[in-house]
Amino acid sequence: MTFSEFFTQYGGAIFAVFGAAIAVFAAGVGSARGCGMVGKAATGIITEEPEKFGKALILQLLPGTQGLYGFIIGLMIALQFQSGVTLTVVQGLFLLATALPVGIAGYRSAIYQAEVSTAGLQILAKNPSQNTKGIILAAIVETYAILGFVASIILLFVAYPLLGN
């Protein structure tokens, strides 16, 4: 089998697998990094005031949602593989492109959300009754992760079928 034949037969699947991997990996790494950043910052507060653990945990969990969005899109891309159906190179490239909005937006927004959540820990430390304001400020950053997620869904369920699979 020549490279051209191999690429024609398997190129679409290879690109689609890369797409699924990018969605899961990029958003997941951003979330892991973000949760780690907030978790490290929260330990200082919890050491002094262990009763604030629950409120600090909420702020730590916020950057974790991006990894979930990436996982869902990666799974949806993987579900495009059907037994006996060969993806064309164009379809594979399109599925790769479908992963980029959630992967890139998920990675960056998780880190930015972690920075805002870490700042929100200062509210928790100094004025616990105002903790909700820190959560709201961090949740606003989530909007851009959701937009990346929705863009990937639209590409997958609206634009992708137009390729004629």
pLDDT digits (tens, 9 = 90+) for 61-83: 999 999 999 999 999 999 887 76
Number of continuous H segments (helices) and E segments (strands) in the chain: 5, 0
- Which among 39, 102, 118, 113 has a CA at the least distance from the CA of 67? 102
Average of pLDDT values for 89-117? 96
> pLDDT exceeding 70 applies to what percent of the chain?
98
pLDDT, greater one: 163 or 72: 72
Average of pLDDT values for 54-64? 96
Q: What does the pLDDT read at residue 83?
A: 61
Average pLDDT over the chain reads: 93
List the domains of the chain with CATH numbers: 24-163 (1.20.120.610)
CB 27 within 8 A of CB 69: yes
- What pLDDT digit, counting tens, does each position of 2-16 carry? 988 888 888 999 999
Q: What does the pLDDT read at residue 85?
A: 72
Instruction: Using the structure block, give the residue that is written with the tokens 């369920």.
Output: 157
